[in-house]
Amino acid sequence: MQTKTTKTILLNEWRLLAADRTLRIVLPLFIVLFAYALANGMAWVRFQEYTVQVVREGNVQRTEGLERELTAIQNGAQPSSPFRDPRNANVMGGRRGARAVALDPGPLTALAVGQSDLLPYYYDVSIYTNETTFLQNGEVENPLNLMVGRFDLAFVAIYLLPLLVLAMGFNVLSGEREQGTLALTLSQPVSARRFVTAKLAFRAILVLAAAIGVSLIGILISGGFGSTGPLGRVLLWCAALTVYALFWFALTAWVNSLGRSSSWNATVLVGAWLVLVVVLPAAINIAAGLLHPLPSRVEMITAQREASNDAVNRRSELLARYLEDHPELTGGDATDEPNRAALAWAATDAVNQRLEEVSERHRMGRDEQNELIRRYRFFSPALLVQELLIDAAGTGDARFARFQSQVRAYAGQWQSFFVPAILAGEKMSADVLPTLPGFNFVDESLGDVGQRATVPLSALIILVGLVGTGAWVGLGKVRGAG
């Protein structure tokens, strides 16, 4: 009997929704927004892929140019400039022979741009790579995009999907009461709990079918299924969307169980959306910036300028100290008449050490900000689902931090290759080019992503359970004559 009643409720819901002119407009509108957000995300991925391709082609062209000139010099030609002689280790290992390293777009970047438009995804690595390299982004980005974020599927899911849920469920019980049909419905062998659950479940299927369906289409079109660990990331994305939508459906059920009017329900639910999605995340971010301010880039530039001026005046002293600290580079003997390249490198190393001090304070402040946000993100389901979505997409802080860490290690390998030659005054030839250190980014495993996702996903599920329990208790008190 109860199964038959549930089927009757679902069939009736389908007829009501099909006849509801507002919902017939709202639901297709959101599907259009999903599609537009997906197209916007895919456009960003194409731009990023093109940039990475140009960067890597630049490496090939740069190496071929060095090889041609070195071969020509070996055959008797003169260097194009004595200051750009590729036979000098500081030239080949410097900006002229720099290697550009790039991070490919994340597996699901088309769905969530995340931090990929804020954090650099390519660097030029040379012997002069230092902390300022990692604080600069070569791309000129629209400031409005950086301020409000890109309109991608994650944006629609976090900010607009709750509004769709609220529009479809704010009067799921109060509307029946106001139309005078609630008492008749509850006189049948069905409880308010079962009645509301069936109605909201039907709406949830429609909402999630649209959101997850567009997501899967986007993954298929963008080639996400052909990347590393796609299935696990797709499942995490779908799970995050589902739990987040269920939170808002549970909230609508709870508010409906309070027995107020539809207009009151709408006001309360929109207020909850404003607080949980807009106000709380903004307040937490502002608090993080105020309590743990980062050193300004002006301080970094000033420190670099002061260190450069001081290093130029003390190059010989710095070189002697450098060779004392690294006797393995010269066999333990510091040359009495160091070459200019060696003097320049000693000054560069001194500047790098000064910049490392400023950069360390910057990293500490950033870590403290992130820790504060992680501590209080549990108060906002929007922050939790944002963390899950960008992590599933591979556009979160963790993947970029991993890339930067490997670039730092590669820069150390590059310097270790060229610095001994600079100090010894060795000459380079075309035979050296194939032996230069190479860069190969080792991406994170699905286990790493899953481990990070455990806490926010569990917290989101707990929130759904708490709100759902409140709704369950409230609906148990509903009577048809109420």
Indicate whether this model's pTM tops 0.85.
Answer: no
| pLDDT confidence bin for 364, thresholds 50/70/90 | confident
Q: What is the pLDDT of residue 279?
A: 93
Q: What is the pLDDT of residue 34?
A: 86
| pLDDT confidence bin for 335, thresholds 50/70/90 | very low
| pLDDT confidence bin for 151, thresholds 50/70/90 | confident
| pLDDT over threshold 80, residue 101 | yes
**Residue 419: what are its φ and ψ, rounded to 5°?**
-60, -45
Task: Tell me the three state secondary structure of residue 125.
Answer: strand
Nearest to 297 by CA among 134, 148, 115: 134
| pLDDT over threshold 50, residue 109 | yes
The whole-number average pLDDT for the span 425-445 is 89
pLDDT tens readout for residues 377-387: 888 999 999 99
In the DSSP assignment, the letter for residue 78 is: P
The whole-number average pLDDT for the span 304-325 is 55
Strand partners, 88: 427
Please list the helix, strand and coil fractions of the chain in percent, rounded to the nearest 5, in that order. Answer: 75, 0, 25
The alpha-helical segments, DSSP class H, found in 295-380 are 297-313, 315-325, 340-376
The whole-number average pLDDT for the span 435-450 is 90
Task: Tell me the three state secondary structure of residue 242.
Answer: helix
Of the listed ranges 11-25, 63-77, 425-439, the one predicted with least confidence: 11-25
pLDDT tens readout for residues 422-431: 877 888 888 8
Q: What is the pLDDT of residue 271?
A: 96
In the DSSP assignment, the letter for residue 99 is: E
Q: What is the pLDDT of residue 349?
A: 67
The whole-number average pLDDT for the span 360-375 is 76
Distance from C-alpha of 25 to C-alpha of 68, rounded to nearest angstrom: 64
Question: What whole-number percentage of the chain has pLDDT above 70?
Answer: 76
The whole-number average pLDDT for the span 44-70 is 91
* Cβ neighbours of residue 438 closer than 8 Å, sequence gap 6 or more: none
| pLDDT confidence bin for 57, thresholds 50/70/90 | very high
One-character DSSP codes across 198-246: HHHHHHHHHHHHHHHHHHHHHHHHHTGGGSSSHHHHHHHHHHHHHHHHH
Q: What is the pLDDT of residue 471?
A: 92
Distance from C-alpha of 153 to C-alpha of 172, rounded to nearest angstrom: 27
Q: What is the pLDDT of residue 324?
A: 52
| pLDDT confidence bin for 229, thresholds 50/70/90 | low
Distance from C-alpha of 273 to C-alpha of 170, rounded to nearest angstrom: 12
**Residue 52: what are its φ and ψ, rounded to 5°?**
-60, -40
Tokens 């609220």 map to which residue? 166
Tokens 């660097």 map to which residue? 123
Question: What whole-number percentage of the chain has pLDDT above 90?
Answer: 29
Give yes or no for a contact between 149 and 285, defined as CB atoms under 8 angstroms apart.
no
| pLDDT over threshold 90, residue 277 | yes
292-296: long-range pairs with CB below 8 Å, 24+: 292/365, 292/368, 292/369, 292/372, 293/365, 294/362, 294/365, 294/366, 294/369, 295/358, 295/361, 295/362, 295/365
Hey, what are 414's tokens? 């590059």
